[in-house]
Structure 1
Amino acid sequence: MAENQLLNVGEFTPLGKVEIAPEVLEVIAGIATTEIPGVSSMRGNFATGVAERLGKKAHGKGIKVELSDDAVLIDVFIVVDYGHSVPNIAEKIQLNVRQAIENMTAIHIKEINVHVVGVHLEHPTEEKTENY
Structure 2
Amino acid sequence: MTKEEQMKETHQTGLGKVEIAPEVIQIIGGLAAIQVEGVAGTSGGVVDDINQFLGRKNPKHGIKVELGEDELEVAVSIIVHYGHHVPDVAVEVQQQVKGAIESMTGLTVNKVLIRVVEVKIEGEAEDTRETDHHQRVR
Does TM, normalized by the shorter one, top 0.5?
yes
1:53 positional shift: 4.3
Unmatched segments (≥5 aa) in structure 2: 125-138
- Bigger CA radius of gyration: 1
**Number of the residue aligned with 2:56:** 56
Please give the secondary structure, in 1, of the residue aligned with 2:17.
strand
1:109 positional shift: 0.4
Deviates more, 1:12-21 or 1:38-47: 38-47
User: What TM-score, normalized by structure 2, do the two folds share?
Assistant: 0.79
Is 1:19 aligned to 2:19, yes or no? yes
Deviates more, 1:91-100 or 1:44-53: 44-53
Which one-letter code corresponds to 2:89 in the other structure?
I
Which one-letter code corresponds to 2:73 in the other structure?
L
Question: Against the structure 1 CA distance between its residues 120 and 54, is the aligned structure 2 distance closer, same or farther, given a 3 Å change threshold?
Answer: closer
Aligned residues: 120
User: Aligned ranges for residues 1-132 of structure 1 at < 5 Å?
Assistant: 3-4=3-4, 5-9=7-11, 12-123=12-123
Q: Runs (4+) of structure 1 moved beyond 6 Å?
A: none
Unmatched segments (≥5 aa) in structure 1: 125-132
Question: Against the structure 1 CA distance between its residues 61 and 108, is the aligned structure 2 distance closer, same or farther, given a 3 Å change threshold?
Answer: same
CA distance in 1, matches of 2:19, 2:121: 41
